[in-house]
């Protein structure tokens, strides 16, 4: 009898694991936001000189990946163009065909088809498109829609679209 119980329990846990994996891969997942590059939108209690063990956790929806439908102001998670194992979270400020002014280089760049321009809300400490250029839309893993932790910060993510400094 205990052998049947163990086999039944293993089948249930395996099925639940497969269903959970499918949901997190295709529809939505949760992830931690670490570091100050998106402050004050995420981790507002962190600045570049302090570190904290408390991260914001966010809901990442993946329906946007079906046809790569994004808007200026969307906060997205994407794989680094230089290291596929790294993921970054930034705000889209430019879409294919847009012109982006780069004051620090005294230049203007046109975003190519199939790419977008992303920047961190805290530009002083953000590794973003100003460092590695426009990112391919295919590197985007999902759009951040809500903060789910800590409890006092639960809510939707603001789609502010002010230009970067």
CA distance 100 to 116: 10
The catalytic position among 29, 37, 39, 129 is 37
Whether residue 90 lies in the annotated active site: yes
Tell me, rounded to whole angstroms, the distance of Cα 155 from its chain centroid: 16
Q: Which residues contact 126 (CB under 8 A, 6 or more apart)?
A: 37, 38, 90, 119, 120
Strand pairing report for 28-33 and 56-61 = antiparallel
Whether residue 67 lies in the annotated active site: no
The catalytic position among 29, 39, 62, 90 is 90
Report the catalytic residues.
Answer: 37, 90
């Amino acid at each position: 009898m205990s052998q049947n119980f163990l086999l039944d329990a293993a089948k249930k846990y395996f099925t639940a694991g497969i269903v959970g994996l499918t949901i997190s891969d295709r529809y939505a997942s949760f992830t931690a936001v670490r570091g100050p590059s998106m402050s004050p939108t995420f981790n507002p209690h962190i600045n570049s000189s302090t570190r904290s063990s408390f991260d914001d956790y966010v809901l990442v929806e993946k329906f946007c990946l079906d046809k790569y439908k994004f808007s200026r102001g969307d906060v997205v998670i994407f794989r680094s163009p230089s290291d596929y194992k790294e993921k970054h979270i930034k705000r889209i400020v430019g879409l294919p065909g847009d012109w982006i002014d780069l004051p620090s280089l005294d230049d203007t760049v046109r975003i190519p088809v199939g790419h977008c321009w992303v920047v961190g809300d805290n530009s002083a400490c953000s590794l973003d498109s100003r460092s590695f250029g426009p990112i391919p839309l295919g590197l985007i893993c999902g759009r951040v829609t809500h903060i789910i932790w800590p409890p006092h910060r639960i809510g939707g993510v603001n789609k502010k679209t002010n230009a970067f400094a």
